[in-house]
Structure 1
């Protein structure tokens, strides 16, 4: 009787294992595919689909094919929760999102509550671009992992560079009116006061998120203030339209940004005529990347017709695959345990690591300027003939800031 039971169990295992391998590893992509953020959301979707195809060409993850499930949240927190539930209903155990820290905060809370109610069916939330520091501080969660540097880390690197620019005398702050925009403003004020107390803040403006179609009134205020430089965390159409209005008004100022390289940004910068006067803080610069990264990006651009805006998405997907392979499982808790403290060689070169205490990823950061290409530069942007030039770099270990996270672990 015992022998029969063992044979039956082995037979059941042989039947189940291929069935599990046949099921895809689903990653729910919850970002705007319509509305004001659609252009940047569509690029993110292309990026993750390309990365899934790359993993699948190598045999998938633990023999499972990776499937990206697109879920349009219209950059709306409440809609995002509806899409998260749809993902759960489809058997999705990993979701990723990046556009909007208000969305990220809502998803972090939802995933934690969902996991409490559904033991054995836990989900992980992979954040590739929502950078409000609170997400890995007071609102940190075991189920949330962030691959982008938070806005405090980015501002620390950016202001360290700005400290060395003596021509900066008067700065105007303009940001989107939500948690991330307020964080950019607050942190910029604090860090500039510490590093360059001689700089005068001549304006601190907030505007509705993805609703303004004409930024000329804001540009008029910047011109009237006498600012020689502007700091903005604007992204998507809010950056492109802001720069378009600056070009129309002939504003002569330097711009220190988080997302000038986003969709439409390079075209808007070219329209201003301000060669190498618009700066961006990123985790990679295509024209200064390693040969391997440049070859990968060339193939990506040729196939998808867009720039790799998210090197961190490459890191995210490679780390997901590594964690699942090491765990020999795609169970959310097993993958989370492997991700904590994981070190990898990041896409653009150098080592990055996922801090276990708060699930914040640290990596080298770079400051670049956009303008007329240097001889031999490989990549221009959006057909402008202009490209990004490396002007400053910060090692991963020098980007580490303390955390207030007090994580509850399952």
Structure 2
């Protein structure tokens, strides 16, 4: 599996210069998927973790013969493109992927990158409709991407930030001991939107809770979070609300432990990528995380699903599986088969109606804004072996006990998207 690395581009709005090759491919030729992610730098671990998820999903489709089309079955082929966590590098990777014949672009880590890709893919498809590409987003959760910035060529398979925060609030609002919160996030569109929505939802659902801190920090550039943790402790906050992810979350919770902060963490991503091990025993009963699925969802189907992933990737540090990424690849395969072609436009039209299930989990794409609708769960960190915690995370000895399940209808939020669909 090759990793593509390209230099930065001139501007995001620059045209995508492509060779003049026909889009038609021979029967049996692979359907090319391009994963554009950080594979080097501060967030390289997040890119590698995503790759394992997508690889496993692609392998599952290929093991059953690939996608079935009238001219014969075609396998899925997944290629990796390193964007170094940068928007301009991502557009460079997009150009390279299209040059290489990819029709489906997969990205999620960073809403800033996602916004750049939404714009670039839209411009490219308008300029060159014979070489269209579709952008599938599994983790970039800025609500704007399926609201005012929605695009026909973009489909999001993760719950957006407002949906995730609403799920966390289902648990937070019942915490009657909670009297004060500290809000902290990464200083870009996603982190800003989380803090803004946290203020709004706290005022609506827990007006008695005082916000004693509200700050943003540079994305991926802080190596020492001790000054931030010291401010959090000094504020007297009973809890922290954060959308931080990757090393920005791991280093934050580690610093909080070092300064002796004993409040709760209400997180979007506190259930993986080193966070449970970093906070350790101090997180038991205190770290809360929201997800589309957790390994300790108490069903036999879910347990078999998780066991199969651990068999495929047995190293403890590779323990990072997300149901939504599996459902995304299943939805794409289903849509290609229903369209009877891998051509982007008919596949996109089929994907608008996609409804998929796997291991007892299910979801459906909402055509109005291309926001996937699915069950959400909230879990609380506890020791492995405690009731409801059969599985730990990354060999840490700590896992997440499911304390709240939100059905699809409970997790859904309205949209302001005014979708513009292509004429042809």
TM class by shorter chain equals over 0.9
Q: How far off is 1:241 after superposition?
A: 0.4
1:251 pairs, out of 246, 253, 261, with: 261
Tell whether the 8 Å contact from 1:160 to 1:195 is kept in structure 2 after alignment: no
Instruction: Report what 2:81 is aligned to.
Output: 71
Partner of 1:357: 368
Q: Which of 163, 177, 181 is the equivalent residue of 1:171?
A: 181
**Alignment deviations for residues 10-30 of structure 1 (CA, whole Å, 9 cap, x no partner):** xxxxxxxx9722311111000
| Structure 2 gap segments, 5+ residues each | 1-23
In the TM superposition, 1:32-71 aligns within 5 A as 32-62=38-68, 63-71=73-81
The 5 Å alignment of 1:284-295 reads 284-295=293-304
Match for residue 101 of structure 1? 111
| Deviating more after overlay: 193-202 vs 397-406 | 397-406
| Partner in structure 1 of residue 16 of structure 2 | none
Q: Residues 300 and 308 of structure 1 are in contact (CA less than 8 Å); yes or no, is this contact kept in structure 2?
A: no
> Is 1:274 the equivalent of 2:283?
yes
1:140 alignment partner, SS class = coil
Per the TM alignment, residue 393 of structure 1 is displaced from its structure 2 partner at its CA by 1.4
Alpha-carbon distance between aligned partners in 1 of 2:64 and 2:329, rounded to the nearest angstrom = 13
Give the number of aligned pairs.
Answer: 391
Q: Deviations over 1:225-275 (max 9, x none)?
A: 1000000000000000001111111111100000112311121121x5231
- SS of 1:20 mapped into structure 2: coil
Q: Does 1:370 align with 2:376?
A: no
Identify the residue that residue 6 of structure 1 maps to in structure 2: none
For residues 264-317 of structure 1, the C-alpha deviation after alignment (integer angstroms, 9 at most, x for no partner) is 1121121x5231210001011211253223212212112223224321000100
Equivalent position of 2:159 in the other structure: 149
Distance of 2:191 and 2:371 partners within structure 1 = 20
Query: 1:283 touches 1:348 (CA, 8 Å); kept in 2?
Result: no
> Structure 1 residue 392 and structure 2 residue 398: aligned?
no
Matches of 1:398 and 1:114, distance apart in 2: 37
Structure 1 alignment gaps of length 5 or more: 1-17
Q: Is the 8 A contact 1:40 1:262 kept in 2?
A: no
**Alignment TM-score, normalising by the size of structure 1:** 0.93
Deviation at 1:384, TM superposition (A): 1.6
Which of 241, 245, 249 is the matching residue for 1:231? 241
2: CA distance, partners of 1:26 / 1:378: 38
Whichever of the two has the greater Rg, that structure is 1
Greater shift after overlay, 233-242 or 154-163? 154-163
Alpha-carbon shift at residue 341 of structure 1 (Å): 2.9
- 1:166-197 deviation line (CA, Å, top 9, x unaligned): 01100000100000000000000001100110
Name the CA distance, whole Å, in 2 between partners of 1:296 and 1:372: 22
Q: Report which of the two has the higher share of helix.
A: 1
CA RMSD in angstroms comes to 1.4
